[in-house]
Chain A
Amino acid sequence: MVLGVVGGGWWREACAAMHRECVDLPIASHPGGNPHCADVAERLRHGEAIAALLEERRVERLLDISGSGLAFRRRGDGSPDLQLLHESARVLLCSHFIDPLVTAFQGLDWSVVWQSLQSAAWVKAVWDRVHALELQRFGVPQVLQLRMAAPDRAYDRTPLDPARQRPVISFVGTQNSGYFRSTAPLSAPQLFAGALAQAVRGDLGDMTFYDIYHDLYGLGEPVAAGDDLQARIRKTATYFQAKMFFHAALCLRNRDRFVIFLKRHLGNLFQLVGNGWDAAYGFSADPPLPTYEAYLQHFRDSAVNLNLVNGNAESGLNMRHFEITAAGGFLLCYQQPEVGECFEIGRECAVFRDERDLLEKIRYYLAHGEERAAIAHAGQQRTLGEHLYSHRLGTLLGALEPRPLPVAFSARNWREDFAELVPEPDIILDCGANVGQMAEAYRQFYPRAAIYSFEPVGSAFEKLREKCAALGVTPVRKAVGDRDGKAWINLTAGAESNSLLEFLPGNPCERWHRVVGREEIEICTLDRWCKDNGVDPRRVSIIKMDLQGAELKALYGARELLSCVKLLLVEVSFVPLYKDCPLFEEVDRFIAECGFRRRAVYASDQPHNWGDALYYKPD
């Protein structure tokens, strides 16, 4: 497969490291030199210029940085409408966004950006997990998270000698939020959403702007399935405008504030390298380092390398995390939710949480050179082993391969199988009944069966109780699990997704799984419940479990019952949807060990994420 790399950069080096053939393609020209500012006309010229090259070199994947490969072509039918270059060339475009979309396409009108984003042949690999989720929730297709990394190259791996390092605290970076220096007057109402979000983040550090804006506060309407294009453009434009001030506040919180603080408290011990600081705050700063080699060497020479991320990061790491560690420098960075996912904090890098902690850590690590060197060494090993762009390229290309499901879905529906396997059930246990959707279906299908519907959450149970009264079903206000007593259940944005398991950030159903509260509920094992309520396990014909990832635990609590029951209908996950959520294979194995055979797996409305598996006990 031939890869086309737009603008060269680290993708070319990553291709070389992976021995992948790649074709260098030029970047759209812009008079200011900033590809983010390329407008429609420039991207159109660019598209026309490289279309032939794509065909000639038989490029199948286009790789770029921050959407620089987004180009247009004129339709051949003389229509004034444009088409996307990658679609017309039947090439998959993969953009790695190291800036947010709204920054990356400054030269394009938002409506053009939004329409382009709908392309299913364009993979949007976003570095910040929160930004990726935000786009997914807006309905943008083909979004995945791909962290930044360090370029592939030969790094100096010799151990650091702390005695030879300069005893300075260094920060390398530009001052790049002009928001608080703008002379354009703002109107206070524009600031409300940003200020509100900052207040919430003060108390709930991991809460995303999207959650705050839409779910917690309803400041705007989320994009809905029935919205037309114009409505979607308007809603997303309003959202990103409201987010502007939040970004400025984050930039202050994550970066500028600490520069100001250290300039004031450390004086010359703090070395600031980069542009824009003088204009912004009147700080003297050293000019950017002249070469990339000098830049990497700087990290090795400085005792402590500070990393402060931009305001456009809500959870992710910027490139500097990986560059400092790849070079073998000692990294001290502001806490960021994803740091611990990439590095072992305290062993491969160090973090600080506030001004006091920053000064303490600086003092400590200046006094402990050997520990500093050991952390730098471990950090370098981690980055060179896992966080180079070649690793990211492998992940990206792997994600583009079609992922087979572990099962084939049945063409039949559950009614057909039920009728064949258990035509006259005695007792049905409907576990995870919610408001009685399945209880109603079972009652219609089996008018004479005794049905018990288990639902622990108060609000759902009230509705269930009403429905059960009409259906002649017995409601039971309990969760089903592997123990008896009390438990906390997470209440989620989607009322059918309440779960005993913890929320898993980044899961594909996150939109419905976001936790909005908790409730203390009663939990029981089915075996104990049968004993306490005089239900003879031998009379139980069917157990249905829809427990949002907690099915396996509930099965553990029903071993006695499983020796008698005839039919088992269990919701199964093909990908992790909750923390510690057992996947299909594990559940399937346990049920098989209990003597059941799988009859069918029924597709859900999200067939790649979950389905319902039906098992029966052979005679």
Chain B
Amino acid sequence: MVRRPWRIATTTQLERSVRAAGFEAFVLPASLTLDCNNAISQRLAEGPMVREFLERHDIDLLLDFNGGAFTLLPNPDHPGQAVLTNAALNIPYVVCYLDPLTGTMAQLSWADQWQLFESRDWIKWVWERSYAEELGRLGVPNIITMPMAVSDDDFDTSPLPEPDAGAAVAFMGHPASSWFRSQQPIASGALFPALTAAAVNADMPHLPFHKIYYDLYGFGEPPRPGDDFGTRVTKALDYYNHKFAYSAYLAVKQRDRFARFLKHKLGDAFELIGDHWAKDYELPHTPRIWDRNVLHERMRRVPICLNLMKGSLEANMNVRHFEITGYGGFMLTYYSPELSDCFEIGVECDVFRNEAELLEKIAFYLAHPGKRREIAAAGQRRTLSQHLYSHRLVTLVDLLRQAGVLPRGVGQVGSPPAAPTAGQGDVPAVAAPVGFAS
């Protein structure tokens, strides 16, 4: 049997990585909005265009970031209901989440979102292991876990240029949370689980929120097999509402705090490149760099490129870990428990665990440019050999093959597979068709 390469429909962001992984890439038409915040009506409007595209190119796999290509078709068998476009064609659809699931699809009601999450008709590629576990406990099926990566590109692997004359340390990103600046009144009781989790996190930093919430403290119960859909929706909503303040806390803990600290201590020697810092914290900053080439060159030219994670990260890594190292910058990042799974700390990047250590490491690396260059070069070698999206896609397709999915041209058609990893919940998934409240 001759196997042809997988034909993958995707967005421009992933096109090059798909090809680099040895697959055929078909970029979804520019006429589609591909916006993860699209309302149901927009997703229904774009469904026929996606169907036509998938059929025309005989696609084996649909792949995107954050569910922008998540479109719907009217269900011919159940008027008033809809079916996922990929499911109607029996094509697997993998969504790589850069944000947590609950941070996307903001235009949908929670019940609609939850119904989609419970659907087996698509695969949720979640980068953070604790999120995958949490979704599994809440009954969301078809989850796979892989870290983020950097998109394949023409990486400059030449020795680092001389640093710019400007700041010695730079962070590129926006404030991670506006929660603490909201003028909305907050009921103090609503903070209780989050503050308890923050207290536990201080003593046991490896313990994810869902274990604190359910196992240690029993603040709520995960869905059970007999729960009806309404109960499941409510339980998930309560859980995420309680987690909201915890994520805000983590945002302060992992990002905003250090930006404020370094501005306070280093002044102009620390450059904040991003938006909203003046509005949110009255911190001077330079605007976001939109041109990716300029941004990546900046990563190479600042002596120390700081990485501070968002509150949406409990233990893993964000894109910036791979971006800074991939483009050859020297990365100094706040410690995260799973970082050593991807990088050798002190050899391929370095970490700090608190304010004192941050200042100490900055002073050390500014005084040791040779060491900085050595680490940056080793970090780049690691990322370019292991942490490109092309590497992840090879792993992804292997996982799909293990689950019995083959290219459409070779016998068995890829029906939506059961994902091979990450905890399946006890709750039976809702099979298509699905109905929507809106």
Binding site for B on A (CB under 8 A): 179-189, 191-192, 195-196, 198-205, 216-218, 248-249, 252-253, 257, 260-261, 264, 353-356, 458, 491, 515-520
Contacts and interface: CB of A to CB of B under 8 A. Distances in A.
B246 to A, nearest CB: 11
A78 to B, nearest CB: 48
Q: Is the interface of B mostly helix, strand, loop or mixed?
A: helix
Contacts of B201: 202
A216 B180 contact: no
B217 A249 contact: no
B183 A199 contact: no
Contacts of B203: 353-355
22 contacts: A180-B191, A180-B192, A186-B186, A187-B185, A189-B181, A192-B252, A195-B198, A196-B257, A202-B198, A204-B356, A216-B264, A217-B260, A249-B195, A252-B199, A257-B217, A260-B196, A261-B217, A355-B204, A355-B216, A458-B367, A517-B356, A517-B359
Contacts of A216: 261, 264, 355
A367 B292 CA distance: 62
Contacts of A187: 183, 185-186
B412 interface: no
Contact of B355 (A182, A189, A204): A204
A355 B204 CA distance: 9
B93 interface: no
Given A249-B195, A252-B192, A355-B216, 17 more contacts: A180-B188, A180-B192, A192-B252, A195-B248, A198-B195, A198-B198, A198-B249, A199-B198, A202-B198, A204-B354, A204-B356, A217-B261, A249-B198, A264-B216, A264-B217, A515-B356, A518-B356
B410 interface: no
B354 A516 contact: no
Given A188-B179, A188-B186, A202-B201, A257 B196 contact: yes
Interface of B: 179-189, 191-192, 195-196, 198-205, 216-218, 248-249, 252-253, 257, 260-261, 264-265, 353-356, 359-360, 363-364, 367
A198 to B, nearest CB: 6
Contacts of A181: 188-189
Query: Across chains A and B, which 8 residue pairs bring their CB atoms closest together, nearest first?
Result: A185-B185, A202-B202, A253-B199, A199-B253, A354-B203, A203-B354, A517-B359, A192-B180
A491 B360 CA distance: 10
A260 B359 contact: no
Contacts of B260: 217
Nearest to B249: A195
A519 B363 contact: yes
Contacts of B182: 188
Nearest to A355: B216
B191 A257 contact: no
Nearest to B197: A257
Contacts of A353: 203
A360 B195 CA distance: 24
Contacts of B353: 203
A520 B179 CA distance: 39
A249 B246 CA distance: 13
Nearest to B264: A218
Contacts of B198: 195, 198-199, 202, 249, 253
A202 B188 contact: no
A305 to B, nearest CB: 21
**Chain B CB within 10 Å — which of A191, A205, A218, A515 has the most?**
A191
A493 to B, nearest CB: 11
A226 B182 CA distance: 35
B330 to A, nearest CB: 18
Contacts of A253: 198-199, 202
B360 A180 contact: no
A519 B362 CA distance: 10
B199 A249 contact: yes
Given A252-B195, A253-B202, A517-B363, A196 B252 contact: yes
A355 B264 CA distance: 36
**Chain A CB within 10 Å — which of B183, B196, B359 has the most?**
B196
A518 B367 CA distance: 13
A204 B253 CA distance: 12
A202 B199 CA distance: 8
B197 to A, nearest CB: 10
A356 B204 contact: yes
Nearest to A491: B359
Contacts of B202: 198, 201-202, 205, 253
A191 B184 CA distance: 12
Contacts of A195: 180, 198, 248-249, 252
A379 to B, nearest CB: 24
Contacts of B355: 200, 203-204, 216
A197 to B, nearest CB: 10
A180 B354 contact: no
A18 to B, nearest CB: 41
A438 B143 CA distance: 68
Contact of A517 (B183, B249, B360): B360
A179 B188 contact: yes
A210 to B, nearest CB: 15
A233 B189 CA distance: 31
Nearest to A249: B195
**Chain B CB within 10 Å — which of A200, A203, A216 has the most?**
A203
B264 A217 contact: yes
**Chain A CB within 10 Å — which of B181, B184, B360 has the most?**
B360
Nearest to A191: B180
B7 to A, nearest CB: 47
Contacts of B264: 216-218
